[in-house]
Amino acid sequence: MARSKSRSKYGWVYSPKKEPSPKIPESLKKLVQERFQEIIDNDLKPNCIHPPSPECRLMYLVDIFGKWYRNYFYICGTYKYENPLTDEESSSEHKFSRFEYVGGDRFNVAYMRHTEKFWEFMQDLTLEQCLEALQTIPHLRPF
């Protein structure tokens, strides 16, 4: 039986180049880190980190921190968890919220959904608006 050449159902599509991300000034990076660290130390850590209860020690939050990665500033947490079968303790890092630098003094804000993907829901905010959002919107805080 002779095989016939089958045509692919996929084709070539024009894909224009993405615009380069704006370069973040070092002074702004430092300012953002300092301002978010104040909120982390004075609000998030005291209100979100609790000692684990004896009956539920499977996974608990032990630290909250902020970090830069490319044009994004993340609010992250370190969770410790125990394997109930081996009683070994491990830790992992989870990201809660993301502040994307888009130029000038403006940021886009996103939170981590249950699908493990960020959902951008606020655009073009100033640094002050981002700080206020972190303090008032529960989606941006540790769960």
| pLDDT single digits (tens) 15-67 | 888 788 888 999 999 999 999 999 999 999 999 888 877 776 678 889 999 99
17-33: buried (b, 16+ CB within 10 Å) or exposed (e) per residue?
Answer: eeeeeeebeeeeeeebe
Residue 42, class by beta-carbon neighbours within 10 Å (0-12 exposed, 13-18 middle, 19+ buried)?
exposed
Query: Higher-confidence residue: 78 or 85?
Result: 78
Judge if pTM exceeds 0.85.
no
Positive or negative CA dihedral for 131, 135, 139, 142?
positive
State pLDDT tens for residues 80-135. 887 767 777 888 899 999 999 998 889 999 999 999 899 999 999 999 999 999 99
CB 118 within 8 A of CB 138: no
How many angstroms separate the CA atoms of 38 and 44, rounded? Answer: 9
Domain ranges of the chain: 26-140
What gap in Å lies between CA 129 and CA 125, rounded to an integer? 6
Query: What is the model's pLDDT at position 41?
Result: 94
The per-residue pLDDT for 5 is 65
